[in-house]
Structure 1
Amino acid sequence: MPEESQESTAARLLRASFATEEAVYGVILVAGMTAVSGVHGATSLQVFATVLVTVLVFWLAHLYAGTVAGHGLEQGRVVGLRTSFRRALKRSLGLLLSSLIPLAILLFGATRLIEDRTAIWLALWMCVLVLAVLGYIAFHRRRAPWPIRILGSLTTAAFGIVIILAKAWIH
């Protein structure tokens, strides 16, 4: 019985933190950093390290800002630092989770499972796919009709496509 409870908690945490503004922001951050750091012949290991450090720094900054902003009075009730931290942690996890797939692809390139340039481009296109999924989930949660879900998915994915077009133009 405790395992079901833990799985249920993990599933709830994933649902609560994956399709969030932080997750969308995280993927756009990863795509932008991948595009910028991969422009001048960087290896996928260099791009991986740059993206990972950047995501961690932004996540820590987001976690800190959320903790500080959430601490204090809320509708006449005192919110302690621990509660504020837990809320900020739960909310900011999407920024980390959304970067895992593109980072894994970059790691495949770093370990030579795939060629560097392929890994970088594949990571960028995976960002577009993740953005599309995040957009779809967001509109699905709002019970939007399927054409609106598809439009939301395409609109969210467009942010990644713009970054890819910028990379292609710069490169």
Structure 2
Amino acid sequence: MSTPNALRPRGLRLLARNEYVTAEAIYGTLLICAVLAAADDEPESEVLITGVAASFVFWFAHAFAITITRRGVVDGRRVGLRGASLDAAYHSAGFLTGPIIPILILTAGTFDVIDGTVAYWAALSSGVAVLVAMGIVAGWELGLRWYRCVLGGIATGLVGLVIITLKAIFD
């Protein structure tokens, strides 16, 4: 089944969707926010190390799984270990790019550039803001009117808040 031409993303919309709004970027952002929510009493340096480590572990696990599943014959062509690994590293990059803003803010708190408590809340808030932005871009890619893009962004942020809250409650 093919997608009608009117629904296919083009130009900047295609770039935004393929590079920035990916499932992996959403997972990465949710992951760092969940680490933050679960560790609100920990020193910023420990939260930073845990968040960065968790991001790399999930990135590696995802890349490994993709490498294994994409190795072999794909669409009639042979894909070797190197090709599958490179594709997997690229495909999984969102686990590392999604949490960049919260990690940078938390780093500023760790090195006393900003107050630790401010850094914690700013990092957590920025993660939710990143989710909102991804929701807006996803709606924009679909060609929705601006207000529907904003509503989609708000809904994405709210779902993120629910997931973060559940993680904090059950941790």
TM-score by structure 1 length?
0.82
Could you tell me which residue of structure 2 aligns to residue 140 of structure 1?
A: 140
**Root-mean-square deviation (CA), in Å?**
2.3
Cα separation, 2, equivalents of 1:54 and 1:86: 21
Distance 1:167 1:86 in 2: 32
- Answer 1 or 2: which has greater helix percent: 1
1:60-79 superposed matches below 5 A:
60-79=60-79
2-side partners of 1:119 and 1:54: how far apart? 19
Which amino acid counterpart does residue 27 of structure 1 have in structure 2?
T
CA shift in 2, pair 1:79/1:169, >3 Å? closer
Deviations 1:2-51, CA, capped at 9 Å, x for gaps? xxxxxxxxxx988633211110111011110111122xx21111110110
Relative distance call for 1:115 and 1:163 in structure 2 (3 A) is: farther
Match of 1:30 in 2: 32
Query: Which residue number in structure 2 is paired with residue 3 of structure 1?
Result: none
Amino acid at match of 2:62: H
Alignment CA distance shift 1:113-1:65 (3 Å) = same
Instruction: Provide the rounded CA distance (Å) in 1 between the counterparts of 2:153 and 2:73.
Output: 37
Percent identity, aligned pairs only, is 34
CA distance in 1, matches of 2:75, 2:122: 46
Match of 2:155 in 1: 155
Runs of 5+ unmatched residues, structure 2 = 1-13
The one-character-per-residue Cα deviations of 1:91-131 (angstroms, maximum 9, x if unpaired) are 11111111111001111110112222221111110001000
Looking at structure 1, the residues matched to 105 and 160 of structure 2 have their Cα atoms a distance apart, in angstroms, of 16
Contact 1:17 1:92 in 2 (8 A): no
Counterpart residue number, 1:97: 97
**Aligned pairs, how many?**
157
Partner of 1:78, secondary structure, is strand
Deviation at 1:60, TM superposition (A): 0.7
Normalising by structure 2, we get a TM-score of 0.82
Q: Which amino acid aligns with 1:112?
A: D
- Matches of 2:142 and 2:160 in 1, distance apart? 23
> Equivalent residue for 2:112?
112
Output aligned runs, 1:81-96, within 5 Å: 81-96=81-96
For residues 68-97 of structure 1, the C-alpha deviation after alignment (integer angstroms, 9 at most, x for no partner) is 111112233222222212221221111111
Asked if 1 retains the 8 angstrom alpha-carbon contact of 2:16 and 2:137, the reply is: no
